[in-house]
A and B are shown apart, each in its own frame.
Chain A
Amino acid sequence: MPARKDISKILVIGSGPIIIGQACEFDYSGSQACKALKKEGYEVVLINSNPATIMTDPEFADKTYIEPIDKEIVKKIIDKEKPDAILPTMGGQTALNIIRELNKENYFKDCSIKILGASPRSIDVAEDRKLFAEAMSEIGLETPFSIIVDDKSDLNKIVNEVSFPLILRPFYTLGGTGGGIVYDKDDFLSKVKNAIDLSPVSKTLVEESLIGWKEFEFEVVRDSLDNSIIVCSIENLDPMGVHTGDSITIAPALTLTDKEYQKLRNQSIAILRKIGVETGGSNVQFAVNPENGRILIIEMNPRVSRSSALASKATGFPIAKIAALLAVGYTLDELENDITKVTPASFEPVIDYIVTKIPKFNFEKFQGTPSELNTAMKSVGEIMSIGRTFKESLLKAFYSIESDNFGLDISHELLNIKDENLKNLLTNQRPDRLLIVAEAIRRKIPLSEISELTYIDMFFLREINEIIKIEQQLVKAGSSLEKNLFIFAKKIGFSNHHISNLTKISINEIYDLQEKNNLTTVFKRVDTCGNEFDSSTAYLYSTFISEINEFSCESRPKNKKKIIILGSGPNRIGQGIEFDYCCVQAVRSFQKLGYETIMINCNPETVSTDYDTSDKLYFEPLDFEYVKNIIDKENEKGVVEGVIVQFGGQTPLRIANKLKEYGYKILGTSFEAIDISEDRERFQKLIQKVGLKQPKSDISLGTKELVTKSSKLKFPILLRPSYVLGGRMMEKMANLDDVQDYIDQNYWALENNVILIDEFLQNAKEVDVDVLRDNQGNTMIAGIMEHIEEAGIHSGDSACSIPPFSLNNKIISDIKKFSISLVNELKILGLMNIQYAIKDDEIFILEANPRASRTIPFLAKAIGLPFIKIAAELIVGKTLTKEYQNFDNNTLPYFAIKEAVFPFNKFPNTDVILGPEMKSTGEVMGIDEDFYLAYFKSQIGAGQKLNNLKNIFISVKNEDKQSISEIAKSFIENGYNLYTTKGTHDFLLKEGVSSNLVNKVAEGSPHVVEYIKQNKIDLVINTTEKKQAIIDSFTIRRTSVDLNIPYYTNLRSAEILIKSLITLKNKPISVKPIQNHHSF
């Protein structure tokens, strides 16, 4: 059936801010869907609160609402736009939840809106544990046994109905306290009682234990005629118990016979049919007992998912695009396979390579949470690698992940660990488990024993064993490395850098050895068909083949002018979707200018790694060797004009020096300028020349001189290692004791590093500025953004407003002046981001980044100008128009506010206080003519539950007390109840504000944390400093996070919030698409 004619306007719901478990894969799927639907002639209305996404670019939808994805807001948009249909299956759990909430209100009962993809009923069955288990049993499939126990008197009855072992998961206990395995009846009675006691809500989950079971996933696509295909199977290297998002996963499944594979295939299709996913993509997860093949259904997602993004990249089959077209009535046989262009979409992709996904973790940013994996996802990003063998694929994955240690090397801290302790670590599900496995193999612990401890399949262990054997041969060979072993190592998948590391032969000599022996890398195509048909799509990966013929390499470089764009690698805190936005925009711009665009990246979640984003996609590690191979290959025919390093965050800058050393051209800002801005001394000279001030600072080489150098500056000071992103390990020190603690905690990371020491400016305002410059020296200020929080909180974690809301004209014009002189001095070509602090009307520079920044996508959406497109044009020699040079964004008739979104709920026991080290995973934008409403929108967009606030708890540090009295007065005048602890209470009383006194935790029951747990507090305002006070008030903040109660740890935001709440009383929230806001 062709596309439906009974609908013409479709509302697509996006997934909102990037959070753990819901990242930029939904930008990838959502933008594919929007593109496909628009191309079919539908009018697309989009709601997504996340300005960093590509899908919220004005051209992707006819109407783009960057508004909070909230039930009431969605209703307002529906009222205004009157869409014929809603597509909720592209926006992750967020979008499905909106449909569930609306359905609960019977919202769809009286309106004619069609829900495409999955019906509200099928969403309910898939999401509700009980309904799902029932549905599965109706089609003869098993789900793991699972019950919630909240009544201790039931235990004697239940104990006779269960089989062991079981797993306990008490609700809301810190770090899963009280949870564990139960082996028999006696165990059961005592442990379940204990678990119920420990849980603040007196409830525990009791589940069948699947310890040691294997986990598989199937990606299914189904159409309205009940045609189904499996796009990809995925095998988790990690056993059950590790969230699949945190697991190392392999595609396709490798340890299943056809009999077992077909069983899972049949069940996957039967499940989609039963749940009633009428059209589109779904993901089914299985647990398989490796002892006997017994299969249990873990879950199914009636929507595209992180796994479907991975499956799309792994196979070349665009699941989201096809799912969107199926949702509007097409059937699989009517659609073309985009990659081959000769086969239909109904054909099941086959692959002739191995794909490995490795998740990226940021545990180091969340002190208090142990680095252990469980069923709650913790990873913040991932990479994918493609190789012709598992070994090659795994090694490439390790070269892609940008970790602190190299290849399969164990981290420094564990280098001297005893064998017995190492074995203990093997039983833990740690983020670095494969490195521990590799070390165990080096120490000759038998593979069978490792398998028993880790439950990792012997196949994978044997493969890692082979890698370690070669590693050891390379170490043994050292400087006398022979050609045969070198070729052999290359065939296994070792990179030159790795070989150099192991043999201690200099990297340049390794390149010489390779060139001398005429050993070149070849590129193969991802073609969905195992080379059965010719593929015109240039989606490529490298492999090493020693015997080359005319069919070995499938890169087929064209005789064109080319530009290579380096992507940003794995998402991590500090470097996320924003940079993918930049890369994709740059690709589009260069394409329009007539260049062949070549993208290199290894992040499967992104739009940049979609095969039709660039003219050519190389799915490769962003390591110099892989980039070099591609440039050399592309230079065989046509000309690579240069490599772009300024759109991919810090990742491409890491190899900029090597590119320069080997004589490859970097387009845009020169390596020289990059070096100046990264080099402390050179940068200081530059800012002196420009006439700028900087907080007093020093550097320390390693930790030895850190204490002495620190003591010469005025505390508080900031410490951080140089060359880091997202303020990694950047911490504020109140005194020398703090410095000593800092050294103790980070010794290994600091030891061989330069550590930067800065005096900290207390209570200063912070400002972010993005500037463009062309090769004639013309400049454009893209935006001056004022932070809501004071300086000292990482710019990525601060809310900020465009235009600035409290800076005077003199400051603004001075900032402009300084920024322009700085970009001119550095001869920036393209973009630069500068951060300033303003203290008592004095301007200090904090940082300058000679590249596109995190704030550029936000600015582009807020203002409506394609800054990346402009920057790309400047890079290839165009000049700024007069209009752009005179552009002044301070006259906008509205405010756009960016707010950060944090993953604290995933990291139990971690404090939520913000500081110089970035912790947020995502951002949202609130836009409105009224500053306070824009702020309010940004807050609900970020997930704060601000409806029906009544009881406000306030506890602030001494220096904030003066300012809090105004805020407290406002709350009371507007009918809120205030609860305060002693210090704040007494101070307010003196100021004539009366509030309800509650105990601090240390003062005993009934105390504030009990109030929070009993739902007596709706909003927490808590500012604090000094170690002991922070420790004392920790549970207040932590409980708020755990129970999803809005909290503010910063006075400036609390102040704006109360004004927002007051504004809201007289002015209802309205919605407006950005296309109507923009005046450009």
Chain B
Amino acid sequence: MTVLDNKTKLNYQNGYLIYNKKYIFKGKFLSKDQFKIAEICFNTSMTGYQEILTDPSYKSQFINFTFPLIGIVGCNNEDYESWKIHASGLICNELFELSSNWRAQTNFTNWIISQNSCAFFDLDTRAVTKIVRNFGPKNVMLCTEEYFENKGIEQICKQIDQSLSLEENDVIKDFTSELNIEKQEIGKKKFSIAFLNFGAKDNIKKNLYSRNCKIEEFDMNFNAEDIINKNFDGFFLSNGPGDPIKVYENIKLELNKLLNKKIPTFGICLGHQILSLAFNASTARMEKGHRGGNHPVKNLETNKVEITSQNHGFVVLDENFPSNLQITHKSLFDKTIDGMKANDQPLFSVQYHPESSPGPHDSRYLFDEFINLMEKNAG
């Protein structure tokens, strides 16, 4: 993809990544738009770009892949984590137009364009990672050379500064408005679960299906009475994009009604943060977030280490951690809270992604624990 004469085939142009006035990167811009603005984050996974890009938690973010080669294995119909690409775009060192893998169905660049996403490449992404790490996540612009020259750097920086931040941006609302809830009830299943979808990855559902569960999905506008009346065996709170406080404020009343029922409850990522907030813990924005597939987490109950897949920019804080919750998992990177359970009701949650995809399968046992809770509760 770096060879000069590919240009016509690929429909990319010279472009710029503008972090701020000081850090501007020249590169190649593959996009239908002249420019795009979104918050930049980096992900260190070496595999699974298709899953990452279709993970709703990345909504309205540019993902800077630290792994330099993206697109080699193309895309297929099986590796989606939702119905489309949610990330605003991706940034990588080198992009591959043609794929090579027995499961590939679409070439990567075609897929990016057909999904209305964008890619920015042929730049020093390692330096970009360092800048994000040093100066924090913020909105950046990707644009064509033509746009850059017409607008000028002053104008562009103003545009960036005036754009809404991730906290201000109500990404979860956007997600919910796009979400097309499917009611799944295939065959006779042992457990029924109310699945609160804030931007869930498909692989969470797959893990529940494969454990003999049927699920019914609800979005953030759910009504507690509806759910309670249906006598579900368990509640599940999914991952999703944005600031947990924002979501929690929206659903606080209804959620507390549900939790009062003390039915087995499991939360992942945003779900974990929301549950923690519901128990009066506090959350905050992290300096650089955890995004990758190699994060070690210690299970404080078994002392075992799990290598986990993570994707979060907010975290539950140690300070004022409520006494009716117990910390069950900690990050071995920075000792932040990675999992908790309630002392007096069957409820637990983790900050990372036991469904992984992409990432290691070390933590799949958490789904079994959820099943156990429901079994115990039923029996």
Are A and B physically bound partners? yes
Q: Which of A229, A290, A347 contacts B333 (CB 8 A)?
A: A347
| Cβ A258 vs Cβ B359 within 8 A | yes
Interface centre among A293, A349, A354, A547 (most CB of B within 10 A): A547
CB distance from B174 to the nearest CB of A (A): 27
Please name all residues of chain B whose beta carbon is closer than 8 Å to the beta carbon of A462 when the two chains form the complex: 98, 100
- Shortest Cβ gap from B329 to chain A (Å): 12
A1030 within 8 A of B: no
- Contact at B72–A343, with CB atoms within 8 Å? no
> How close is B137's CB to chain A, nearest CB, in angstroms?
13
Segment with Cβ contacts to A, from B121-129, B138-146, B180-188: B121-129
Q: Say yes or no: is B20 at the interface (Cβ < 8 Å to chain A).
A: no
A829 to B295, CA, bound (A): 52
As a 0/1 sequence over residues 139 to 174 of chain B, the CB contacts with chain A under 8 angstroms (1 = contact) are: 000000000000000000000000000000000000
Query: From B50, which residue of chain A is reached at the shortest CB distance?
Result: A257
Taking CB as reference atom, which chain A residue is nearest B290? A532
Number of residues from A at the complex interface, CB < 8 A:
59
> Which residues on the A side are within 8 Å of B259 (C-beta)?
none
The smallest C-beta distance from B18 to any residue of chain A, in angstroms, reads: 13
Distance A332 CA – B125 CA, assembled complex (angstroms): 30
Q: Which of B102, B358, B359 has the most CB of A within 10 A?
A: B102
Are the C-beta atoms of B93 and A293 separated by less than 8 Å?
Answer: no
Q: Is A225 an interface residue (CB 8 A)?
A: yes
Interchain nearest-CB distance for B96 vs A (Å): 8
Report which of B45, B124, B293 forms a contact with A545, defined as CB distance below 8 A.
B124
A-contact bits for B94-116, CB 8 A (1 contact / 0 none): 10101011110000000000000
Q: Is B30 an interface residue (CB 8 A)?
A: no
A235 to chain B, nearest CB (A): 11
Q: Restricting to B67-110, which residues have a CB under 8 Å from any CB of A?
A: 67-69, 72-73, 76, 78-79, 93-94, 96, 98, 100-103
- Complex Cα–Cα for A1070 and B102 (A): 61
Tell me the nearest residue of chain B to A343, going by C-beta: B333
Known: A226-B304, A344-B332, A488-B4. A350 touches B103 (CB 8 A): no
Given contacts A256-B73, A257-B47, A353-B68, is CB(A262)–CB(B332) below 8 Å? no
Per the bound structure, the CA–CA distance linking A256 and B101 in Å amounts to 7
Per the bound structure, the CA–CA distance linking A458 and B102 in Å amounts to 11
CA distance A255 to B45 in the complex (A): 15
Q: Does B25 contact A (CB under 8 A)?
A: yes
**Is the pair B72, A459 in contact by a Cβ cutoff of 8 Å?**
yes
Q: Are the CB atoms of B296 and A347 closer together than 8 Å?
A: yes
Q: What's the Cα separation between A491 and B27 when bound, in Å?
A: 13
* Contact of B51 with A458 in the complex, beta carbons under 8 Å: no
**B357 CB within 8 Å of chain A:** yes
On whether the beta carbons of B73 and A257 are closer than 8 Å, the reply is yes
Of A258, A350, A388, which is within 8 A of B357 by CB? Answer: A258
Known contacts A352-B66, A389-B69, A459-B72; A256 and B47 CB within 8 A of each other: yes
Q: Which residues of A contact B93 (CB under 8 A)?
A: 388-389
Residue of A nearest to B75 (CB): A257
Residues on the A chain within 8 Å of B76, using CB: 257
A122-130, A523-531, A964-972 - interface stretch: A523-531
Q: Are A532 and B66 in contact (CB under 8 A)?
A: yes
Q: Is the CB of B66 within 8 A of A290?
A: no
Task: Tell me, yes or no, whether B339 is within 8 Å of chain A by CB.
Answer: no
Say whether, besides A348-B307, A388-B93, A552 and B127 are in contact (CB < 8 Å). yes
Instruction: List chain A residues, Cβ under 8 A from B69.
Output: 254, 354, 389-390
Is the Cβ of A530 less than 8 Å from the Cβ of B124?
Answer: no
- Nearest neighbor of A345 in chain B, beta-carbon distance: B296
Contact of A262 with B360 at beta-carbon distance under 8 Å, contacts A347-B295, A352-B68, A389-B94 already known: yes
Residues on A with beta carbons closer than 8 Å to the beta carbon of B96:
459
A549 in contact (CB, < 8 A): yes
B residues 288-304 touching A (CB-CB < 8 Å): 288, 292-296, 298, 303-304
Contact yes or no, A225 B304, CB < 8 A: yes
Q: Decide yes or no whether B276 CB sits under 8 A from chain A.
A: no
Within 8 A of A (CB), among B241-263: none
**At the interface, yes or no: B130 with Cβ under 8 Å from chain A?**
yes
- Bound-state CA distance A325–B335 (Å) is 23
Decide if B332 touches A531 in the complex (CB within 8 Å): no
Known: A343-B333, A354-B68. A227 touches B360 (CB 8 A): no
Asked if residues A255 and B100 are in contact (CB atoms below 8 Å), the reply is yes
A466 within 8 A of B: yes
Q: Is B2 an interface residue (CB 8 A)?
A: yes
Q: Judge if A813 is at the interface, Cβ distance under 8 Å.
A: no
A390 and B51 CA atoms in complex are apart in Å by 23
In the complex, A333 has a CB within 8 A of chain B: yes
Q: Is the CB of A257 within 8 A of B103?
A: yes
Q: Across the interface, do A470 and B3 meet the contact criterion of CB distance under 8 Å?
A: yes
| 1/0 contact string of B184-204 vs chain A (CB within 8 Å) | 000000000000000000000
A554 to chain B, nearest CB (A): 8
Asked if residues B79 and A258 are in contact (CB atoms below 8 Å), the reply is yes
Q: State whether A350 touches B3 (Cβ < 8 A).
A: no
Q: Is the CB of A259 within 8 A of B133?
A: no
Query: Is B305 a contact partner of A227 (Cβ separation < 8 A)?
Result: yes
- Tell me the count of chain B residues lying within 8 A, CB to CB, of chain A: 60
Residues in B with CB closer than 8 Å to A574 are none
Which A residues lie within 8 Å of B133 (CB)?
531-532
Q: How far is the CB of B17 from chain A (nearest CB, A)?
A: 11
Within the complex, which residue of A252, A349, A350, A352 is in contact with B126, where a contact is CB–CB below 8 Å? A352
- Chain A residue with Cβ nearest B23: A549
Q: Is the CB of B356 within 8 A of A262?
A: yes
**Contact partners of B23 in chain A: CB under 8 A:** 549
| Complexed CA–CA distance, A466 and B50 (Å) | 25
Known: A261-B47, A549-B127. Contact between A332 and B305, CB under 8 A? yes
Find A257's partner among B4, B101, B294 (CB 8 Å cutoff).
B101
Chain B residue contacts of A332, Cβ below 8 A:
296, 305
Establish whether residues A293 and B103, one from each chain, have CB atoms under 8 Å apart when the complex forms.
yes
Q: How far is the CA of A967 from the CA of B225 in the complex (A)?
A: 103
B345 at the interface (CB under 8 A from A): no
* Contact in complex: A458, B100 (CB < 8 Å): yes
Contact in complex: A346, B332 (CB < 8 Å) = yes
Q: Would you call A492 and B50 a contact (CB within 8 A)?
A: no
Residues 345-379 of chain B: 1 if any A CB is under 8 Å from the residue's CB, otherwise 0?
A: 00000000000111111000000000000000000
With A and B bound together, what is the CA distance between A459 and B1 in angstroms?
12
Task: Assess whether B2 is in contact with A492, with CB atoms less than 8 Å apart.
Answer: yes
Check if A351 is an interface residue, CB within 8 A of chain B.
Answer: yes
In the complex, chain A residues whose CB is within 8 Å of the CB of B26: 547
Interface pair A262/B296, CB less than 8 Å apart:
no
Complexed CA–CA distance, A531 and B133 (Å): 9
Distance A552 CA – B25 CA, assembled complex (angstroms): 11
B46:A350 contact, CB within 8 angstroms: yes
User: Which of A260, A347, A458 is close to B332, meaning CB atoms less than 8 Å apart?
Assistant: A347
Contact A257/B44 with A290-B102, A333-B305, A532-B292 known, Cβ cut-off 8 Å = no
With most chain A CB atoms within 10 A of its CB, the pick from B2, B50, B72, B305 is B305
Q: In the bound complex, how far is the Cα of B70 from the Cα of A390, in angstroms?
A: 12
Please give, as numbers and ranges, the residues of chain B lying within 8 Å of A261 by CB-CB distance.
47-48
A293: chain B residues at CB < 8 Å are: 102-103
Q: Is there a chain A Cβ closer than 8 Å to B228's Cβ?
A: no
Does B131 interact with chain A (Cβ within 8 Å)?
A: yes
Q: Is the CB of A252 within 8 A of B46?
A: yes
Expressed in whole angstroms, the Cα–Cα distance for A565 and B338 within the complex equals 46
B357 touches A266 (CB 8 A): no
Binding site for A on B (CB under 8 A): 2-5, 23, 25-26, 42, 44-48, 50-51, 66-69, 72-73, 76, 78-79, 93-94, 96, 98, 100-103, 123-127, 129-131, 133, 288, 292-296, 298, 303-305, 307, 332-333, 356-361
Can you spell out 7 A-B residue pairs with CB atoms less than 8 angstroms apart? A257-B101, A258-B51, A259-B78, A291-B102, A331-B305, A346-B305, A531-B126
Q: Can you list the 7 inter-chain pairs with the closest CB atoms, starting with the nearest?
A: A258-B48, A530-B66, A258-B358, A348-B294, A459-B100, A551-B127, A258-B47
Known contacts A266-B361, A347-B296, A531-B126; 16 further A-B pairs (Cβ under 8 A): A254-B69, A255-B72, A255-B73, A257-B73, A261-B48, A265-B360, A291-B102, A333-B298, A347-B294, A347-B295, A348-B293, A350-B292, A352-B125, A389-B93, A457-B100, A551-B131
